[in-house]
Amino acid sequence: MRQCILLFILSIPVTLFSQDKNYTIDTIQVKSEILKENRCLIVYRPQNISRTDSVKFIYLLDGEYSNYRFQKIKERFKDSISNLIAVGIINTNRRRDLLYAESADKFLDFLTLELIPVLEYDYKTNTRILYGHSFGGGFTIYAMINKPNNFNYYIASSPTPIMDLINKENFQQMDRASKRKVVFFFSVGSRDMGQVSKWSQRLQDNLTGLKFNNVFWRFTVFEGKDHKTSDIAALLNGLCDIK
């Protein structure tokens, strides 16, 4: 392990669950100079994966729920995700990090400048996915608009708040700044909170009719789902776009 990684990794990964013969689930602490704190991660890694393999990374915001969400990914996609590494990012101050009106810019820098280089250092990453629900969904859109080239796929489940993010100019500028294809999936439940549904619908209205060169988007309303139950439907549906 090289010096640049040693600056960040504070503890050797410790296997949490041994009952899954296909995956190793580890806890890792990362020291962030940007956030001025240590961050705990849960990393779900295929046991038979090689450092030379081409892999996909999915970064799961609100990492406290990552085990439940990752198990649903495994159930749905089974062997088709054999090269997928999932990373659950545990919160320390959720509002500070995920709300663009607060310090989402610093959290985004932490992800792109500190976390991703450390976790992907020894891998050939062919696809990088960001998933977030609720505040995490709002942050996912914020991250896409501000740094579109850091992830290939953005999955925003019941995103909130997004009022200042839905302007057409944001997405036109993002399309011009994109150096590769960016796939954006966002969704709400049919029984979601009123404000969430309203602003997501306005975002869909603004995106409809715009012509993009690099941005591909899709919007879905999940019948019968509310704000608390729309997360898994969005995650699994959004992952269907992954090539």
Domains assigned to the chain:
3-239 (3.40.50.1820)
Question: Looking at the whole model, is its pTM more than 0.95?
Answer: no
Instruction: Quickly state the pLDDT bin for 237 (edges 50, 70, 90).
Output: very high
Does residue 214 register a pLDDT over 90?
Answer: yes
* 77-83, long-range: CB < 8 A, 24+ apart: 77/239, 81/56, 82/46, 82/48, 82/49, 83/46, 83/49, 83/53, 83/54, 83/55, 83/56
Q: What is the model's pLDDT at position 5?
A: 37
Q: Tell me the average pLDDT across 213-235.
A: 97
165-186 residue pLDDT tens: 999 999 999 999 999 999 999 9
8-52 residue pLDDT tens: 444 434 434 444 668 889 999 999 999 999 999 999 988 888 776
- The percent of residues above 90 in pLDDT, for the chain, comes to 77
Instruction: Quickly state the pLDDT bin for 79 (edges 50, 70, 90).
Output: low
Do residues 133 and 140 touch, judged by C-beta distance below 8 A? no
